[in-house]
Structure 1
Amino acid sequence: MTQALSHPTIDVRVIPPRERHPLIFGTFHSLADGAAMEIVNDHDPRPLYFQLQEMQPGRFTWDTLESGPDVWRVRITKRAAAASEGRCCGGCGGA
């Protein structure tokens, strides 16, 4: 992983395949709300998009910066959680 000026960049082309997704998900988890990370790959990372969508629905934006044929780059930005996520909304009166 290298550090870009404004966000971490993970060049998965140089990372063993079994270590890629854990590194990506760990990096995403460590991002502050509103922060971004960039992924560089040698193939279309769409399967990663669907896996992240399953794990973190609505919690990120996905911007394609470069789309092959040799290099794919995407920026993933972490969105803020909904205000009521994990907390009582008060609608039930605390019951």
Structure 2
Amino acid sequence: MNMASTPAEPVHPFDARGIGKRFRHAAIFGALDALHPGETMRFINDHDPLPLLAQLRERYGKTLMIEYRARESFAVMIDFTVAAGRPGDDTGSGCCGACG
């Protein structure tokens, strides 16, 4: 596991293995939407979530940095860091603005 660089802000763990598959992507989007600029969510899963990563790139674009920390066939750890702006702000998320 490569832990060479450490984010400056606190890292919020998100273990997807305990979330039902039916709810997993919605839970991940919700968690990412709750992050503030500079914050990181450390995603842990039992497989490489390539379809999810494609969805995240489409939804958040350059406002979300994606960095693998571990990439094994049985264990994946990815840091998602909000680079600038709030994820979802430019995607018409429908939030009233009173949430943040």
Task: State TM-score, norm by structure 2.
Answer: 0.72
1:9 is aligned, of 9, 13, 20, to 13
**CA shift digits 1:14-56 (9 cap, x unpaired):** 1100111111111111100111001111110222111011111
Aligned equivalent of 2:96: none
Q: Percent identity?
A: 31
Aligned equivalent of 2:43: 39
Q: Would you say how many aligned residue pairs link Structure 1 and Structure 2? A: 79
Q: Secondary structure at the match of 1:57?
A: helix
2:29 matches 1:28: no
1:13 counterpart letter in structure 2: R
Aligned equivalent of 2:73: 69
Distance 1:9 1:19 in 2: 17
Q: How much is the aligned-residue C-alpha RMSD, in angstroms?
A: 1.9
- Following TM superposition, where does structure 1 have runs of at least 4 consecutive aligned residues deviating by more than 4 angstroms? none
Unmatched runs of 5 consecutive residues or more in structure 2: 1-9, 91-100
Unmatched runs of 5 consecutive residues or more in structure 1: 1-5, 87-95
Task: State TM-score, norm by structure 1.
Answer: 0.75
User: Which structure has the greater CA radius of gyration?
Assistant: 1
